Each structure stands twice: as C-alpha cells, then as structure tokens.
Structure 1
C-alpha cells in the first residue's frame, strides 16, 4: 500500500496500512482485518506469518479468514469473546491440518461501546495509549525476550538488539498454542488503539510509538509511524521486515 486507508466508524476513525519488507520479492507474510460487528462494534486484528513463503503468508491469511467467519456468525448482540476465541481455535486447527510447518502470530482487539479487550498469540503487539502518552494497556510479546522485558530483567533497547529477539514461543499453528486474554479497558475520548506486526515494534521504541500515534490528524499519525519505522529499517541497527498496522483514533 502506498497510503493508509481510512474508514469512518461510530467508534472513531479506523486506519489500516500494510507493506512488504523493503527489497523483498515474496508476498507480504502479514495480514490484517477490520471487522464491523452486528451491534456496530469492531474487531481489529494483525497477524504475522512465520515459516517463510508461501507458508507464512497462507497461515496469516487463514487466521484472518477464520476470525472473520467466526465473528460474522454473531446472531444477537452480546459478548464477542466466545466468537473471537473460537475463531482463533479454528485457525489453529486449520493451520495444523496443512502439515507444512506454517504458523502465525495473532493480536486482536475488540471494541464495543468504547470498551476494549485484547487477545494475544505471539509477538505482534497491541496497545491503548492516552492523549498524554500514558500506556493504559499493552500486550505481552510471547517470546523469551518479551517476557524478560515484561518482568524488568531486560531493557527495551537491549531487547531490540538481542540475538534471540526473533524467537517466538507461542504461535497459531502450534499444538501448544495458548491465548492470552487481556482486561477490559474503557476508552476515554482521546485514547488511541494500535495493533502492529513486529516490523513496527522491532524498529521503534514504545515511547516513540506512543508519541507518534497520539498526536495530530489520524492520517498523519499513521504516516508518521510508517515513515519512522521505514527510516529505522534502513539504518545500521534496523530490522527490515513486513509492516502492518491497524489503528483506531478519535
């Protein structure tokens, strides 16, 4: 995509962007989804397929399709959690059935009546950030390095350059997959919700992401995140990668 796409919704402005790794000839292994629910809620998702082309691309696409089919089966207004969990479980079974070594990360956020809840498998990340930069909720990266950062044993800068930063310990497409469910977070009027593959979070520090995501018109915020991550990818210590983002802003 050359430019982010913007969709207006009762919950706010929803933006999406996806781009293949600079210089890469294979398809983008990331997939993303914006799903409007029966009662005008939102389910936002980003997946990052692993295993190399074409299996990574296929795995992330299967995850989005299974999530879409499950959420779209909603017949009455109500709790989305069973539908989201079912979609992820279906994706896990479908990818395992391929028996080709495919797998994918998956991060999901549901938003209903300005209340958000996250679901996490792997190291694609999601967060809720307030107007003044306060991180109200952030998913935990399911990796040894991610757990070390969360526990305070490793700093963010060290983690970004650690030799094991690519290792992910929990994936959709694994017999041992588990789904981490986050708490409910009531969104204030100026809060921003952001989901992204590791093409963003492996190249920008959390405070940089928060600063760029919370200030300015929605399209400018997304462009700033993409441009800054792209510049960092081309730097000496950057990590060139596929890049996908979904954002909900006021």
Structure 2
C-alpha cells in the first residue's frame, strides 16, 4: 500500500519576539521544522536558508537514510557559504527535525537540536526525539524531572545544532510508518509550554491536520509561550504519493528565499 502525508502547518512569531526565527515545510513526501538558534545572529536566515536548500536539492528524491544525511549536510553547508559571504553572520545556526518518505516508502526521521517529533499511534502519544540540550542531560541524570525541565531557566541551552560545520551532528533513523499514524513536529515554543498530556489531547481530538496545527499554536500562546511557535501535523494516509508536489513553507521560510526556490525547482 502506498502511503503519503496529509499535512497542516502553522507558525506564529508570538507576543514576545520581533522576528519569527522558526521555519517549516510540508509536502506529501516529507515535512520538517527548523528553529533558528536564539542568541545568535540571523536565526531566521539560518532556518529558512537551511530548509530551502534541503527541499530544493532534488525535492522528494531520497533513496535511503544515507541519501537524506547527504541532503542535510549539503543544506548545512549553505550556512557556511552565507557566513563566508558575510562574516557578521558567524555563529548563526538552526535546529532541524523532519520526517521523509524514501522512494520505497520507508519513513525516515531526522533530528538535530531541541525541536521535537511526537507520534500518536493507537491513541498513545510517543515522543520520538531526545532534546540536544543542557536540561535534557539533567533529566537523563535524574537531577531534574520532566515537569521541572519545562520551567528550568537554562532550558534554551542546546548542545547540538546545524551551523555549517562538517562535524555538526546529523541523525537520521528509520521508522515504521503505518496508516493512521499522526506525527507532530514542533519548535520548543510549543513543547516548553504545553505538557505532553495537553499536546496528546489536542492531537487526538481534532481530525483535520491544519485545524490541529492551528489549535496547537493557539494553546501555546494561551499558555504564555515567550518564543516563536511552530507546529507541523502530518497524518500518514493511503494513496499515491505525489513526489513532484512542491512544498508549502511557513514561518521564516515563507518570507525568505521563495524566489530562489522557484528558480531552483523550476
């Protein structure tokens, strides 16, 4: 049975930031969220440039995990090219969490940083990623509870990101994609402010992916999120997958590089 993604995406700058440094894309063959690293220069440029390079370099053409790793490293290399052209951008970086179907229908999960992936299967919410963060290391050591981690003053310190260096951490793993699965990809503007039980309730209660993404954004803002907030909801559904479908962008990626993407994809 051929499967594809039925998706919804939403992104909001929030009430405490001037610029949206989150970026996202969705397509029948893949989806992803990138969050420009706070405290560094041009986080919006980093997240948008990374995603546009990632999806414009061949669209859906991914054969296996190694193929996606190469695509991610090529997109990461674009960040260093920006820095070479403008040294003032030194230090810009982004997270990335995404899912992607190979030609043969294998589902791949890519993750670097503290944007998250959740899976709802048989009504159970299962977190699929481990944050690359200082606070996550404290949780792993038992020094901080998951609940306290959401309020920890150093929760935004990440330990891995994509900044254009050859040694940057790039993880891609295979997952089993089943009909009826629902994936959530989100920036920490959601996961730092909404407990898992709230996220699970929203994901289970709304059928339409776009409406679900919109509701997650609204809930995070109502919870007092002080960050940009971005949600991608992707349902795995039966049907022919259009590997030629152009992606839809949101956040910083919807306002930067659109003309360049059109040229590369054309």
Q: Which residue of 2 aligns with 1:226?
A: 217
Residues 67 and 84 of structure 1 are in contact (CA less than 8 Å); yes or no, is this contact kept in structure 2? no
Q: Which residue of 2 aligns with 1:34?
A: 26
Residues 192 and 214 of structure 1 are in contact (CA less than 8 Å); yes or no, is this contact kept in structure 2? no
**Deviation per CA, 1:138-191, whole angstroms, max 9, x where unpaired?**
111111212333565432111111121010111110534111223x33233332
Please identify runs of 4+ aligned residues in structure 1 that moved more than 6 A. Answer: none
Instruction: Report the secondary structure of 1:168's partner residue.
Output: coil
Residues 98 and 109 of structure 2 are in contact (CA less than 8 Å); yes or no, is this contact kept in structure 1? yes
Q: Which residue of 1 aligns with 2:108?
A: 117
Residues 124 and 141 of structure 1 are in contact (CA less than 8 Å); yes or no, is this contact kept in structure 2? yes
- Displacement after TM superposition at 1:20 (Å): 0.7
Instruction: Report the secondary structure of 2:114's partner residue.
Output: coil
The normalised TM-score by structure 2 is 0.75
**Whole-angstrom distance in 2 between the partners of 1:35 and 1:71:** 13
Inter-CA distance 168–241: structure 2 relative to 1 (3 Å threshold): same
Q: Which residue of 2 aligns with 1:90?
A: 74
**Whole-angstrom distance in 2 between the partners of 1:35 and 1:96:** 27
Q: Which residue of 2 aligns with 1:248?
A: 234
- Larger relative contact order (C-alpha < 8 A, sep ≥ 6)? 2
Q: 1:20 aligns with which of 4, 9, 13?
A: 13
Correspondence 1:168 to 2:154? no
Residues 96 and 102 of structure 1 are in contact (CA less than 8 Å); yes or no, is this contact kept in structure 2? no
Inter-CA distance 115–149: structure 2 relative to 1 (3 Å threshold): farther
**Whole-angstrom distance in 2 between the partners of 1:161 and 1:73:** 38
Q: Which residue of 2 aligns with 1:203?
A: 193
**Deviation per CA, 1:70-98, whole angstroms, max 9, x where unpaired?**
34273xxx624233212221232221231
Q: Which sections of structure 2, spanning at least 5 residues, go unmatched?
A: 238-266
**Whole-angstrom distance in 2 between the partners of 1:114 and 1:247:** 19
**Deviation per CA, 1:190-220, whole angstroms, max 9, x where unpaired?**
3211101111101111222122112222244
What is the RMSD of the two structures over their aligned residues, measured on CA atoms?
Answer: 2.5
**Deviation per CA, 1:31-55, whole angstroms, max 9, x where unpaired?**
111244xxxxx12110001255861
Q: Which residue of 2 aligns with 1:65?
A: 52
**Whole-angstrom distance in 1 between the partners of 2:21 and 2:72:** 18
Residues 70 and 86 of structure 1 are in contact (CA less than 8 Å); yes or no, is this contact kept in structure 2? no
